[in-house]
Structure 1
């Protein structure tokens, strides 16, 4: 089985499309970004997702943060009813313990930094590693394909969520080569910076078919 995350969702309609398509996780960005949403909008999306997913497979809501204070992260996550936290900055591994009541997804870019090495060493049941592309000066993959070979090596040891330049056209190959715990997409299901219903459905369907 493959876990599918649609990230950078900003509207109720796109969130509901992701639920209907069979996504397992929906990412809500609270970090500075063109996809950033405020907590009130996140609460509205969360309520819509919970209602739509009732009786189906649970859909997890993941908040994306970059170098934020851990107390604020907990506050926003609790206020919005999030299931998980994605740390996409240079957060220290101590955040894993501080956020132990949530699923924690830590972005890894194989940048060989000391803090990243700490996360690679630390192995906790509630932590997943998200492999993204290393783009200097950016805390996102910027649509660039990640290092699938290194991701595959890591996926043999840890639960890896593969991100970075994934699209409906290449996600099947990515899954076959990396064998990740899950896949994550944002710009790959957008047209002109806006989530596209058809692309969301196509991405989930392609990931599911590849996992079988």
Structure 2
């Protein structure tokens, strides 16, 4: 089970996630209240990698983008030493090859569009199922469609996002059987990452996966 803590904006939250056993950290470069500068992201990435090495493991750094150009994504990935990128907008499927060899995670929301269906056929792209909220490129804390996610998970490896919390992540894992889980607002208090909730989420996800 891969666990991704997304929307990290502070070094101490990143270090808590690493210490608690997170596999991935998401750094948001798209306009949002969790948006981070390239400079801060690079600093957090360096600290997280150092902390992970001290524990004898690695941490995967993912940059989150919405409708950004391939050139800009590549530039930021290089500057911050990102391992992969998450495309959360309306990016065309040609981005999959254009961003290689970076790990590419594509957010899908079951909008039933031809463009989204084209991403389902990209075997080398990791899919992330998020909630569909009109006018919003993030799940906004809304629970995703677990039933459709479970159907998709029968033939495609996927990461589940959208409204996950320390309280419901075990149920989500049991019902959907995802490759990984992704959380942002579910480990926040008053819009800020909460150390206790980060640890609780990771512990609950690990226990359910076992």
Answer yes or no: same fold by TM over 0.5. yes
Q: Which residue of 2 aligns with 1:118?
A: 118
The alpha carbon displacement at 1:121 in A equals 2.2
CA distance in 2, matches of 1:56, 1:157: 33
**Residue 35 of structure 2 corresponds to residue 36 of structure 1:** yes
Q: Deviations over 1:11-68 (max 9, x none)?
A: 0000000000000000000000000000000010011011100042211000000000
Mapping 1:6-25, distance limit 5 Å:
6-25=5-24
Q: Which residue of 2 aligns with 1:98?
A: 98
What is the SS of the residue equivalent to 2:127?
strand
Name which of 155, 168, 176 aligns with 2:166: 168
Q: Which residue of 2 aligns with 1:159?
A: 157
**Quick check: 149-158 or 137-146, which moved more?**
149-158
Q: Deviations over 1:166-204 (max 9, x none)?
A: 000000000000000000000000001000000000000
* Unmatched 5+ stretches in structure 1: none
Q: Which residue of 2 aligns with 1:71?
A: 71
What is the SS of the residue equivalent to 1:46?
helix
Q: Which residue of 2 aligns with 1:83?
A: 83
**Quick check: 102-111 or 46-55, which moved more?**
46-55
Q: Which residue of 1 aligns with 2:206?
A: 208
The TM-score normalised by the length of structure 1 is 0.97
The alpha carbon displacement at 1:128 in A equals 0.5
Q: Which residue of 2 aligns with 1:50?
A: 49
The TM-score normalised by the length of structure 2 is 0.98
**Residue 109 of structure 2 corresponds to residue 109 of structure 1:** yes
* Unmatched 5+ stretches in structure 2: none
The alpha carbon displacement at 1:6 in A equals 0.1
The alpha carbon displacement at 1:90 in A equals 0.2
Q: Which residue of 2 aligns with 1:189?
A: 187
Q: Deviations over 1:93-137 (max 9, x none)?
A: 10000111111100000011221011012222xx10000000010
What is the SS of the residue equivalent to 1:119?
helix
CA distance in 1, matches of 2:115, 2:201: 32
